[in-house]
Amino acid sequence: MKTLSRPAPVIAYGAAALFPAVVLAAGALWGGAWVWVGFLWVAGVSQSIDTLAARALPDPPEGAAHPGADAVSLVLVAAHLVLLALALRALAGAGPPLSGAAHAALFLGTGMFMGQVSNANAHELIHRGSRLLFRAGALVYVTLLFGHHVSAHRLVHHRHVATDADPNSARAGESFWRFFPRAWAGSFRAGLVAERALAARQPGRVNPYRWWVGGGLACVALVALTLGPLAALIYLWLCLYAQMQLMLSDYVQHYGLRRARRADGRPEPVDARHSWDAPHLLSSLMLVNAPRHSDHHAHPAR
């Protein structure tokens, strides 16, 4: 695979990530071909373009500035919220008339967008130092009923990645269907333990799990009150599907990789050998460089 000579401009990331959201939102509003274009784009067309292009983005220069990146990330958060509301409205029967197949396509396309693009964007935001950006990323995870990921990812995954202490590092030979429930429950518990330990060291610190859990319950209640109980049930299934997309990326990114133990029993430092990368051009743009995962572990805030 050939690596491009220069990094892509920020506008290219925004356009690639927003395109499926806009098309799926149009499908939720008007139905018709919009639904199928959005679904097919996230389900296979973008991957086919990656394969045919056979191009990869280069690593960004150390300390490089990315003017406009924060604004693009916040626009993607807004797009996530709008698409979620429109898709639930349409799937609950309050939107355009949709066939059974179109219902399935809108559900799957929206779930893939949220589990892949929204997740990738929120993942970047929860590593930012800005309170606004961090909270925007956390909001996305709360609306996916996956708020605990904010704590577990930052406090557990980055510390214990590629060791058995990290629930989200898949073991060699472990199927995704075994990994998903183990990692979901394990990361929830590990994040809670880590937050309680922080609270014990920092008197007055509020355990954010009250926001992760309470916020999720509030989202379900809001959907039920505004769109009805059927929409709330669809919301639960949509979040589960999006969570599976999110966890599938975790499954692939560290599958079977383990850090060696040093003489003192501690794991060796994390490096590029402890993540699987897929730096293809379009998916890197659409997923704001999430497939270039080893660089993220080396520079979490970049």
pLDDT the model gives residue 1? 57
Tens of pLDDT, residue by residue over 14-60, are 888 999 999 999 999 999 999 999 999 998 877 777 677 666 666 66
Give CA–CA dist 70/78, Å, rounded: 13
Predicted TM-score (pTM) of the model is 0.92
Tens of pLDDT, residue by residue over 98-156, are 999 999 999 999 999 999 999 999 999 999 989 999 999 999 999 999 999 999 999 99
Give CA–CA dist 137/112, Å, rounded: 18
Give CA–CA dist 19/36, Å, rounded: 14
pLDDT the model gives residue 45? 77
Q: Which token pair is 100?
A: 């059974």
User: By the 8 A CB rule, do 139 and 219 touch?
Assistant: no
Query: What is the amino acid identity at position 80?
Result: H
Name the E strands within the chain.
2-3, 55-56
pLDDT the model gives residue 237? 98
Helix (H, G, I), strand (E, B) or coil at 94: coil
The confidence band for 298, taking pLDDT boundaries of 50, 70 and 90, is low
The confidence band for 271, taking pLDDT boundaries of 50, 70 and 90, is confident
Q: Which of 247-257 are b and which e, b meaning 16 or more Cβ less than 10 Å from the residue's Cβ?
A: bebbbebbbeb
pLDDT the model gives residue 191? 98
Mean pLDDT for the stretch of residues 184-190: 98
Could you give the maximum distance between any two Cα atoms of the chain, in Å?
Answer: 65
Q: Which residue has the higher pLDDT, 234 or 283?
A: 234
Computed from CA positions of residues 30, 31, 37, 38, in that sequence, does the dihedral angle turn out positive or negative? positive
Look at residue 166 and tell me whether its pLDDT is greater than 70.
Answer: yes
Helix (H, G, I), strand (E, B) or coil at 81: helix
The strand pairing partners of 55, in sequence order, are 2
pLDDT the model gives residue 60? 64
Look at residue 69 and tell me whether its pLDDT is greater than 90.
Answer: no
User: By the 8 A CB rule, do 169 and 243 touch?
Assistant: no
Q: Which of 156-187 are b and which e, b meaning 16 or more Cβ less than 10 Å from the residue's Cβ?
A: bbeebbbbeebbbbbeeeeeeeebbeebbebb
